Amino acid sequence: MSALTLLSEDERLFRDSVYEFADREVRPLVREMDEHAKIPRHLIDSLFGLGVMAVEIPEAQGGAGATFFHSILAVEALSRVDPSIGVMVDVQNTLVANAFLKWGSDDQKQAWLTRLAGGSIGAYALSEAGSGSDAFGLATRAIESGDGFALTGRKLWITNANEADVFIVFATIDPKAGYRGITAFIVERGFPGFTVGKKEDKLGIRASSTCELLLEDCRVPRANVLGDVGKGYKVAIETLNEGRIGIGAQMIGLAQGALDHAVKYTKERKQFGKAIAEFQGVQFEIARAATELEAARLLVYNAARLRDAGEPFLKEAAMCKVFSSEVAERTASLAVNLFGGYGFVKDYPVEKLYRDAKIGQIYEGTTNLQLQTIAKQVLGS
C-alpha cells in the first residue's frame, strides 16, 4: 500500500480538491508569478475562500477546525503546481497560526486567529544577519517602555513579509541572559517604527515574498507579548519543529510535480522511432525517483501523524525535511535531464521546479542542523 492509499476518505477528498484548485487556478499563473515575483491578491483571496489559510484555526474563529495533517496535505497539493504558493500557506498555518493556537491567550486567539482566518496573512520573524543557524543569537532588542516594549533591530529572510499584516517578531530583552531573554511579540503592519524593507531577488520560489524588516523604537503593547516574557525560545523551537514538516510537504509536492512532468514528457518524446519512456535507462531513472518520493512522503506523513497524536516527533520532523528536500532536488534535476534542451529553458516548467527545490535544504533549519538533531536523538546525547 502506498502512502496515499493510507489516507482516509476525508483526507483524500481534501487533498484532491486542493490539487484541483491548484491545477485550475494556480497553474495558469505560475510563469507570470515567477517572472514578476509576486502573487496576485485575487489568488490570495481565493486561497482564503478555499479554507487553506486557516486549516487548524477553530470554526469559532472562522477557520476550518481541521488537523495539522490536513494543512500538510494542502501544502503538498499546492506545491505540486507551485511551491511558492505552498510555502505561503505553510507559513500561515504551521508557524503563525500554530504559534497563536499553542501560546496565545484567549483574547489573543480571538483577536488574531479571527484576522488570520478572515483575510490577513501572517509572517514569522526570527532570522537576522547574525543569527541564521544560530537562531538564538539575536541582536534585535526589546526594552521596557511605559505599558509595553520598544523594539529595535533588523530581521532578514522573512517569508510572506510583503503581504503580511501580522508579524510574530522575536527579540531579546536581555542579551546577557542568552536564549532565556528571548521574547515573542505580535507586531502589526502600521505600528510606528516598523517598516517592511527590501524584497529579495531570489533564485527560486520567486513569487513568495522574502523581505527584511526594520524596527526603530517600534512600540509594542504589553498585551502583544505572545507567551511569557523570556519564553520566546520555546515558542520558536516548538513551532519550527512543526514548520519543518511543512517544508517536507512542500518538497514532496514539488517532487511529485517534477515527476508528473517527466513521466508525461517521456511518453510523448520520441527518439530512434519510439518514446523515450520505452528505453530501460529512462525507466530505471523514473523508477528510482518514484521510489524515493514514496519514501519521502511516508516520512512526512508519519511526522505529521505523530504531531497530531501528541507523540514526540522531533527526530521524525528532521528526518522528513532532510530526505524530502534531497529527493526534491534530485527529482527536479532528473526532470530537467529528461527534457533535454527543453528542460533548460523557461518555456517548459521543470527548470523552475529545479530552482525552487534548492531552498528546501536551507530554510527552517539547514540540512546539517537537521542531521545534528537526528544524531543527538539516535545517540541519546
Considering the domain architecture, whether residues 132 and 27 belong to the same structural domain is answered as no
pLDDT band at 265 (very low <50, low <70, confident <90, very high): very high
Question: How do residues 95-106 score in pLDDT, each as one tens digit?
Answer: 999 999 999 999
Q: Whole-model pTM? A: 0.97
Show the domain range for 339: 234-379
The pLDDT value recorded for residue 2 is 82
Residues 6+ apart with CB under 8 A from 36: 207
Domain boundary among 178, 204, 230: 230
Residue 377 has pLDDT above 90, yes or no: yes
Considering the domain architecture, whether residues 160 and 106 belong to the same structural domain is answered as no
Distances (CA, A) of 149 to 5, 145, 221, 222, 223: 51, 5, 6, 7, 10
Residues 6+ apart with CB under 8 A from 202: 37, 210, 359
Residue 74 has pLDDT above 90, yes or no: yes
What's the mean pLDDT in 61-77? Answer: 98
The whole-angstrom distance between residue 143's C-alpha and the CA centroid of its chain comes to: 31
Considering the domain architecture, whether residues 80 and 157 belong to the same structural domain is answered as no
pLDDT band at 135 (very low <50, low <70, confident <90, very high): low
Domain boundary among 172, 202, 230: 230
HEC per residue, 228-264:
CCCCHHHHHHHHHHHHHHHHHHHHHHHHHHHHHHHHH
> For residue 278, how many C-alpha atoms fall within 13 Å in the half-sphere facing its CB?
8
H or E element: which one contains 75? helix 68-79
Residue 340 has pLDDT above 70, yes or no: yes
Cell for 186? 505580535
The pLDDT value recorded for residue 125 is 97
Question: How do residues 157-209 score in pLDDT, each as one tens digit?
Answer: 999 999 999 999 999 999 888 889 999 999 999 999 999 999 999 999 999 99
Considering the domain architecture, whether residues 23 and 84 belong to the same structural domain is answered as yes
The pLDDT value recorded for residue 130 is 84
Considering the domain architecture, whether residues 97 and 224 belong to the same structural domain is answered as no
Task: Return the CATH number at 366.
Answer: 1.20.140.10
Dist. CA 333–CA 375, nearest whole Å? 28
CA angle 370, 232, 245 (to 5 degrees): 35
Considering the domain architecture, whether residues 199 and 246 belong to the same structural domain is answered as no
Question: How do residues 77-121 score in pLDDT, each as one tens digit?
Answer: 999 999 999 999 999 999 999 999 999 999 999 999 999 999 999
Q: Greater confidence, 76 or 179?
A: 76
The residues annotated as belonging to the active site are 364
The pLDDT value recorded for residue 335 is 98
Considering the domain architecture, whether residues 151 and 279 belong to the same structural domain is answered as no
Q: Greater confidence, 193 or 135?
A: 193
What's the mean pLDDT in 16-32? Answer: 98
pLDDT band at 134 (very low <50, low <70, confident <90, very high): confident
Considering the domain architecture, whether residues 285 and 372 belong to the same structural domain is answered as yes
Task: Return the CATH number at 46.
Answer: 1.10.540.10
Considering the domain architecture, whether residues 207 and 271 belong to the same structural domain is answered as no
pLDDT band at 137 (very low <50, low <70, confident <90, very high): confident
Residue 132 has pLDDT above 90, yes or no: no
DSSP-derived 3-state class of residue 162? coil
Considering the domain architecture, whether residues 225 and 274 belong to the same structural domain is answered as no
Considering the domain architecture, whether residues 115 and 128 belong to the same structural domain is answered as no
Question: How do residues 273-332 score in pLDDT, each as one tens digit?
Answer: 999 999 999 999 999 999 999 999 999 999 999 999 999 999 999 999 999 999 999 999
Considering the domain architecture, whether residues 175 and 260 belong to the same structural domain is answered as no
- How many domains does the chain divide into? 3
Domain boundary among 121, 150, 184: 121
Task: Return the CATH number at 225.
Answer: 2.40.110.10
Residue 127 has pLDDT above 90, yes or no: yes
23-37, 126-140, 219-233: lowest mean pLDDT where? 126-140
The mean pLDDT of the chain is 96
Q: Of 328, 338, 363, 373, which Cα lies nearest the Cα of 76?
A: 328
Q: What percent of the chain has pLDDT over 90?
A: 94
